[in-house]
Structure 1
Amino acid sequence: MSVRLTVTDGESGARFTDVVGVLTSWTGGVLCVTRRTGAEVRIPESSLVAGKVVPAAPARRRGPAATAAELDRAAARAWPPVVSERLGGWELRAAGGFTRRANSVLPLGDPGMPVRDALRRVAAWYAERGLPAYIQVSTGAEGTQELLAAELAEHGWTQEVSAEIRIAALAPLADLDADVSRVVLSRDLDDAWLARYQRSASGEPAPEVVRVLSGGPSVWFATVPATIANTEETEGTEEHGAAVAPAAIGRCVVDGRWAGFTAVETDPLLRRRGLATAAMTALARKALQEGASAAYLQVETDNDGARALYEGMGFTTHHSYHHWRAPHENHR
């Protein structure tokens, strides 16, 4: 809906403003509207001026045509859990705590029972594995889960992290003017690649890390080797056991028409040199060879540097997703 309301501030007095989102409740004289970003707005009836139903998503959107459910499923296949279990249309996923994406519920359907009962089952399932219970909820597109987010809030769950799924046509990404001559592509996840990956660079990676990163329909790893050419670059290298951390890395999972990019990282001292772009361009060219035509990636909303990089490559936001955590007493 698009809702017009009056607001009052000390400087300009009463004025009009608009709120666009999904109406999740209207009780006790208050409307609750969830914006595209997942933020909830509470609107007193007394401030209402007008309202109308609007499409859930723009008629035209830059980038490949896709539903939120299609993208969420593709992203889940590209970042698979170590163990999973179905609860109706919900998938419970766990990977020893390695990333929320692999340790959260993907609720793409009805759980087959009242939500309150499903949440108890979810909390118990994760408690058995010594993990906090998370549910990944999408917002901002047709068929996303604003109503579920409102129910989670009612049951005391809290939203911890928000991210965007961004999409782009793959061919323009593969055509970027990037120096790919130094990029090495491999099917194998080696120690050098892991030495640059921020979630494992501090020591020996847990088995779950390797399982998740190596999983997916068709996985490629990109490495830009470190070049010990000057003092600055020497200081920027790190060791992971006997392996020297590369200058940059990336990962791509090809799944039908989709190429999903993850784990794009660069040595902090070597940023703004086009290394991440080179890694992604090389991966995009490989994905095109395997028949993919569209690209997606996931980026947290507070990662301004990465968002700027991806915008420059032509990625636009398709929808947002959020990880909601169970109340503490539910996962002791």
Structure 2
Amino acid sequence: MEFTTRGRLEVRITTADVGKRVSVRKLNDSPGSPERFTDAVGVLTSWEGGVLRITRRSGEVVEVPESALVAGKVVPPAPPRRRGPAATVRELQLIASRGWPARETESLGDWTLRAAGGFTTRANSVLPLGDSGLPLPEAVERITDWYGRRGLPATVQITTGDPARDEELDAELARRGWTGERYALMRTAPLAPIADLPHRLNGMGGAPMPDTGDVLLTREPDPAWVRAYGREGADAPDATAVLTGGPSVWFATVPGDDEGPAAMGRCVVDGRWTGFAALHVSPARRRQGLGSLVMAGLARQALAEGASAAYLQVEADNGAAAALYDELGFTTHHAYHYRRAPQR
């Protein structure tokens, strides 16, 4: 890894390079290590408060104090992979949870209790990934109390693509009168074909699609994006923490008119995986390929950061979204739903 010009170490990156793939060298602070320096390669996710945060392809985040930085440069993007990596149900659930992070979490054995002021069920439900460490009835009482203290209904995410783990829990909650709701699918696809979609469709004739250059990417959602997103409380601090949380988050906008964006979306890059969410097209601009355009613009950014696979979560009865995602190459990885406690 070459950092020098005529034998001198140089820092050739600035805060303007946030979002780019970089290679840095820093002083090694590991006790007992004979190495004077250590290196890190990944996406420069942020540079704030005198600390650089670099997200490696594995999803690991490396923090580098400015005082320890001795060299750095922008490096070319890793070549895209045409096939995305495989993942188990557990692995993908963990990745998806990092990509839509709750503001508050607490562990109960292998379960994670998540809360974010009620903003979205995903961020306000239990993610059970193994053994709670308690008898099931006692675990249910514990989580009911935890959510009750926060003024939230106790809710558990139940995965049905891995019944050996969740079927007992699902049956116990149903027996207690917890209602099943929000039946959804986790879908996955290779990332590179999504980025290529406008080019492929334009090569097939018919009305040309707009170019991905029409998609504006930002690190923070502006007020117009939040209004178009349309969820109640989306401008509250809890919602902002969820929407902007994750290893490397991007917001996409196709400018519209005074009524708001023509199209919009969000993605989070986490190592080799990219999660898509909040895809919306203005009713007046539908059937013009703008949904695909937003996905392609976000996918190109994710490819530049070293990702190779995509995931998204969609409710099982959303036929319009399913048609688009089928076209983009998504297939079902597993299914899940939620169980909500009866009101006391």
CA deviations on 1:86-131 (whole Å, 9 max, x unpaired) are 1111111011110000000000111110010011011111110111
* Cα RMSD after superposing both structures: 1.7
User: Following superposition of structure 1 onto structure 2, how do residues 2-41 of structure 1 map, counting pairs within 5 Å?
Assistant: none
Cα pair 1:63 1:316 within 8 Å, conserved: no
Cα pair 1:195 1:246 within 8 Å, conserved: no
Residue 218 of structure 1 corresponds to 248
2-structure distance, mates of 1:205, 1:189: 10
TM-score, normalization by structure 2: 0.70
Structure 1 residue 303: Cα displacement: 1.1
Cα pair 1:67 1:142 within 8 Å, conserved: no
Instruction: Give the letter for the 2:128 counterpart.
Output: P
Residue 327 of structure 2 corresponds to 312
Which among 246, 255, 261 is matched to residue 246 of structure 1?
261
Residue 127 of structure 1 corresponds to 148
What SS class does the counterpart of residue 176 from structure 1 fall into?
Answer: helix
Which among 127, 137, 157 is matched to residue 116 of structure 1?
137
CA deviations on 1:30-56 (whole Å, 9 max, x unpaired) are xxxxxxxxxxxxxxxxxxxxxxxxxxx
2-structure distance, mates of 1:299, 1:224: 22
What SS class does the counterpart of residue 102 from structure 1 fall into?
Answer: helix
Residue 189 of structure 1 corresponds to 221
Instruction: Give the letter for the 1:185 counterpart.
Output: L
1:208 matched to 2:249? The reply is: no
Residue 341 of structure 2 corresponds to 326
Structure 1 residue 297: Cα displacement: 0.2
Residue 14 of structure 1 corresponds to none
User: Following superposition of structure 1 onto structure 2, how do residues 231-242 of structure 1 map, counting pairs within 5 Å?
Assistant: 237-238=258-259
Residue 271 of structure 1 corresponds to 286
1-structure distance, mates of 2:84, 2:147: 37
CA deviations on 1:122-163 (whole Å, 9 max, x unpaired) are 111111011111000111247652232122212222211110
What SS class does the counterpart of residue 168 from structure 1 fall into?
Answer: strand
2-structure distance, mates of 1:78, 1:256: 11
2-structure distance, mates of 1:204, 1:213: 9
Structure 1 residue 327: Cα displacement: 2.3
2-structure distance, mates of 1:302, 1:147: 25
1:180 matched to 2:195? The reply is: no
Residues 142/294 of structure 1: CA separation in 2 closer, same or farther (3 Å cut): farther
Cα pair 1:64 1:168 within 8 Å, conserved: no
1-structure distance, mates of 2:171, 2:85: 29
Cα pair 1:140 1:319 within 8 Å, conserved: yes
Structure 1 residue 176: Cα displacement: 0.6
Instruction: Give the letter for the 1:219 counterpart.
Output: V
1:140 matched to 2:172? The reply is: no
Total equivalences in the alignment: 251
1:171 matched to 2:171? The reply is: no
Structure 1 residue 209: Cα displacement: 1.1
1-structure distance, mates of 2:186, 2:107: 24
2-structure distance, mates of 1:163, 1:250: 19
Cα pair 2:130 2:165 within 8 Å, conserved: no
Residue 151 of structure 1 corresponds to 172
Residue 58 of structure 2 corresponds to none
CA deviations on 1:210-237 (whole Å, 9 max, x unpaired) are 11000001101101000x5xxxxxxxx5
Residues 63/285 of structure 1: CA separation in 2 closer, same or farther (3 Å cut): closer
Which among 111, 135, 144 is matched to residue 90 of structure 1?
111
Structure 1 residue 207: Cα displacement: 1.2
2-structure distance, mates of 1:126, 1:79: 19
Structure 1 residue 70: Cα displacement: 0.8
Which among 230, 234, 238 is matched to residue 198 of structure 1?
230
What stretches of structure 1 of length at least 5 have no aligned partner? 1-61, 229-236, 239-244
Residues 65/141 of structure 1: CA separation in 2 closer, same or farther (3 Å cut): farther
Residues 215/300 of structure 1: CA separation in 2 closer, same or farther (3 Å cut): same
What stretches of structure 2 of length at least 5 have no aligned partner? 1-82, 199-208
Structure 1 residue 195: Cα displacement: 2.0
Residues 198/98 of structure 1: CA separation in 2 closer, same or farther (3 Å cut): same
Cα pair 1:189 1:221 within 8 Å, conserved: yes
2-structure distance, mates of 1:133, 1:123: 5
Residues 111/141 of structure 1: CA separation in 2 closer, same or farther (3 Å cut): closer
Residues 142/126 of structure 1: CA separation in 2 closer, same or farther (3 Å cut): closer
CA deviations on 1:223-270 (whole Å, 9 max, x unpaired) are 1000x5xxxxxxxx53xxxxxx21111100000110000001111121
2-structure distance, mates of 1:176, 1:112: 47
